[in-house]
Amino acid sequence: MGSALVLNQSYEPLCVIPVKRAAVLLLTRKAETVTPGDGFLRSETMHIPIPSVVRLKRYVPIPRQVGSSPSRRGVFARDDWRCVYCNAAAETIDHVVPRSRGGTHTWDNVVAACAPCNHRKSDKSLAEMGWRLPRAPRPPSGWQLRGFRGQRRPDPAWEAWLPRHGRERARLS
């Protein structure tokens, strides 16, 4: 049936939930529709537009803690499931400073990469390859970690509500 983006009262993205759960939030008046989706949810006595983006009527505090050790899913979400070197679909993670040369497995040293770029880079440094990163790796935002649990790509209707970080990519030469 699809998913809906949930915004906090402050319009900050919180999470992605099934449309059925979003409809329950609307029917219990805990949320309001910000952007309707395609079609309707129908019952014998009513029909409501399928919600694509809903906003909670009460503010929900968000814990801002990010784990110290990066996960594959967290790295892919932070880098928008794109290779930081060529902007192709990411399949692997790469250590910017290779572990064989003393690199650590931390958020500031791990990036998403496609298999060909990861293989081509191997255990070389970026300077040896003549590559550079479009931006320094850093821990992901809380939204990036909790936003797309099972999904890889956001619904285009959500773009206006999602943080812009990581959307523009530059090809490295």
SS3 label, residue 83: coil
Which pLDDT score is estimated for 139?
A: 84
Q: Are 147 and 77 in contact (CB under 8 A)?
A: yes
- Mean pLDDT (the chain) is 84
The band of 111, judged by pLDDT with boundaries at 50, 70 and 90, is very high
Give pTM, 2 decimals.
0.59
Count of residues in the chain: 173
76 CB neighbour count, 10 Å cutoff? 22
Amino acid at 23: A
SS3 label, residue 90: coil
DSSP label of 44: S
The band of 128, judged by pLDDT with boundaries at 50, 70 and 90, is very high
Q: What is the mean pLDDT of residues 146-173?
A: 57
Cα–Cα distance measured from residue 40 to residue 34, given in angstroms and rounded to the nearest whole number: 15
The band of 152, judged by pLDDT with boundaries at 50, 70 and 90, is low
Which pLDDT score is estimated for 86?
A: 95
The band of 15, judged by pLDDT with boundaries at 50, 70 and 90, is confident
Which pLDDT score is estimated for 117?
A: 95
Q: Are 47 and 78 in contact (CB under 8 A)?
A: no
Q: Is the predicted pLDDT of residue 67 greater than 70, yes or no? A: no
SS3 label, residue 153: coil
Q: Are 58 and 14 in contact (CB under 8 A)?
A: no
Q: Is the predicted pLDDT of residue 37 greater than 50, yes or no? A: yes
Which pLDDT score is estimated for 156?
A: 80
Which pLDDT score is estimated for 146?
A: 60
Which pLDDT score is estimated for 143?
A: 64
The band of 59, judged by pLDDT with boundaries at 50, 70 and 90, is very high
Which pLDDT score is estimated for 173?
A: 31
Which pLDDT score is estimated for 55?
A: 97
18 CB neighbour count, 10 Å cutoff? 12
